């Protein structure tokens, strides 16, 4: 047993001290990102670190709700530390920054710590830093391309030589399931399979639906089980099974998403950045608020993402003023490790 005196000199699992050189590198990196975002026309906000549970948890799914750091104020209200920056920024934008000048979308950047309980002994931080942007009031693929392009540009500006951005679309996955008339109970199972990264179980569950071979092929194509499968970046093409999505009425939702993705890729191609993208429909983000494109960046030597983001058109509505929005959050601590490992 540890005596109460010993706690004094310890710190809890999931937090850490950042000392001298690393603190210095982190500040410099965050400074570089801030400068880049300012130059791109984004302006800074600093939202509070904690708030009411209902507010901080507004965008979180059940999983994340359980992972919030919660405490009680002196009147008995439940408070929570922010689990991400997007939710408090969305609250701020919906309640105080609702009117953009001349209908111009809001361009916001932020930098700060977020807090989540993680499973024990996984070596994952409970407190970590996020620096990112939100583009609020802009719908459509141009806006998605703008933030994706910015994400690629800052990773390059930071000096990361090799990285890849996995790009998915919530409506493409759900739209494919719509077209195959997959019911909600089955979707829960399929989402769980993908969430657990279990492609074997996904495939078995798809086969057990007893669909015709074409539909089965489309559902399986989601996990990209061939070497020349989903790779919009270098080959510029979608898997052949997806041709059917464009021509069939039942896949209209998926076809819309596919057109979105094609438009985003087209823009990035024009900017010479499409080579950084690989399509990945199995990409599921931690938060439930995503409604369109979703993406995460990966680099060699680092087992986790460097940044993640996507479109969340319904989150501001949670705070009373629906507006389309898209953005990403970069994790500077992970980026520093990736930079170190590629040297």
Partner 1 sequence: MNGLTIALPKGKLLVHTLKALRAIGIDLSGLEDNPRKLVHRDEASGMTFLVARASDVPTFVEHGAADIGIVGKDVLMEGEKRVYELLDLGFGACRFVVAGPKSIASEGCGLNGLKCSRTHLRVATKFTRVTERHFAGAGRPVEIISLHGSVELAPAVGLAELIVDLVETGRTLIENGLVVIEDVAPSTARLISNGVSLRLKRGPVFDLASRLRSGGNMNAPAG
Nearer to partner 1, 88 or 309 (CB): 309
157, 273 Cβ separation under 8 angstroms: no
- Kindly tell me which of 112 and 229 has the beta carbon lying closer to partner 1: 229
Q: Nearest 5°: phi and psi at 125?
A: -70, 145
Q: What whole-number distance in Å separates Cα of residue 288 and Cα of residue 169?
A: 13
3-class DSSP state of 315? helix
What's the min distance (Å) between Cβ of 300 and partner 1? 6
b vs e for 42-63, b when ≥16 Cβ sit within 10 Å of the residue's Cβ? beebebeebbebebbbbbbeee
To partner 1, the closest distance from the beta carbon of 282 in angstroms equals 8
In terms of CB distance, is 196 or 259 closer to partner 1? Answer: 196
Residue 202, helix vs strand vs coil: helix
Q: Which is nearer to partner 1, 106 or 182 (CB)?
A: 182
Residues near partner 1 (CB under 8 A) are 162, 164, 166, 197-201, 203-204, 207-208, 224-229, 231, 278, 280, 298-304
User: Rounded CA gap, 288 and 315, in Å?
Assistant: 9
DSSP annotation of 241 reads G
The residue among 199 and 269 lying less far from partner 1, judged by its C-beta, is 199
Residue 182 DSSP one-character state: -
The nearest distance, CB 35 to partner 1, in angstroms, is: 28
Query: Which residue lies nearer to partner 1 by CB, 30 or 198?
Result: 198
Report, in Å, the least distance between residue 29 CB and partner 1: 20
Find residue 309's DSSP bridge partners.
295, 328
Minimum separation from the CB atom of position 232 to partner 1 (A):
12
The least distance separating partner 1 from the CB of residue 208, rounded to whole angstroms, comes to 6
Instruction: Specify the DSSP class assigned to residue 134.
Output: E
Choose between 228 and 266: whose C-beta lies nearer to partner 1.
228
Residue 326, strand partner residues: 135, 311
Polymer length in residues for the chain = 343
What phi and psi values does residue 66 have, to the nearest 5 degrees? Answer: -70, -25
How many other C-beta atoms are found inside a 10 Å radius of the C-beta of residue 113?
Answer: 14
Give me the least distance between CB of 149 and partner 1, in Å please: 19
In 51-132, alpha helices (H) = 53-56, 62-66, 86-95
Token reading at 152:
């690629």
Residue 24 Cβ vs partner 1, minimum distance, rounded to whole Å? 27
Residue 203, Cβ neighbours under 10 Å: how many? 17
Please name the residue that has the structure tokens 């209209």. Answer: 252
Closer of 92 and 339 to partner 1 (Cβ): 339
């Amino acid at each position: 047993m540890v005596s109460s005196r010993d706690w004094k000199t310890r710190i809890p699992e999931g937090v850490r001290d950042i000392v001298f050189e690393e603190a210095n590198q982190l500040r410099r990196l965050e400074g570089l990102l801030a400068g880049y975002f300012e130059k791109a026309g984004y302006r800074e906000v600093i939202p509070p670190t904690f708030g009411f549970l209902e507010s901080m948890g507004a965008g979180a799914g059940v999983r994340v709700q359980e992972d919030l750091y919660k405490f009680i104020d002196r009147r008995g209200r439940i408070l929570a530390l922010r689990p991400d920056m997007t939710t408090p920024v969305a609250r701020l934008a919906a309640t105080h920054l609702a009117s953009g000048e001349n209908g111009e979308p809001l361009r916001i950047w932020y930098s700060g710590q977020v807090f989540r309980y993680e499973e024990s002994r996984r070596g994952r931080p409970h407190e970590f830093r996020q620096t990112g942007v939100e583009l609020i009031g802009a719908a459509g693929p141009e806006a998605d391309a703008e933030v994706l392009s910015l994400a690629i540009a800052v990773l390059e500006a930071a000096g990361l030589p090799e990285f890849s951005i996995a790009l998915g679309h919530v409506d493409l996955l759900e739209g494919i399931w719509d077209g195959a008339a997959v019911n909600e109970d089955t979707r829960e199972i399929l989402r769980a399979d993908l969430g657990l990264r279990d492609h074997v179980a996904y495939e078995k569950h798809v086969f057990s639906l007893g669909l015709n071979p074409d539909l089965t092929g489309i559902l399986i194509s989601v996990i990209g089980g061939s070497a020349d499968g989903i790779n919009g970046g270098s080959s510029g093409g979608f898997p052949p099974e997806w041709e059917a999505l464009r021509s069939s009425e039942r896949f209209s939702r998926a076809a819309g998403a596919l057109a979105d993705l094609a438009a985003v890729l087209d823009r990035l191609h024009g900017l010479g950045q499409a080579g950084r993208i690989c399509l990945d429909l199995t990409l599921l983000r931690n938060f439930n608020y995503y409604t369109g494109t979703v993406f995460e960046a990966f680099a060699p030597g680092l087992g986790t993402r460097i940044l993640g983001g996507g479109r969340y058109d319904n989150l501001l509505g949670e705070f009373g003023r629906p507006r389309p929005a898209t953005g990403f959050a970069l994790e500077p601590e992970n980026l520093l490790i990736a930079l170190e490992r590629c040297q």
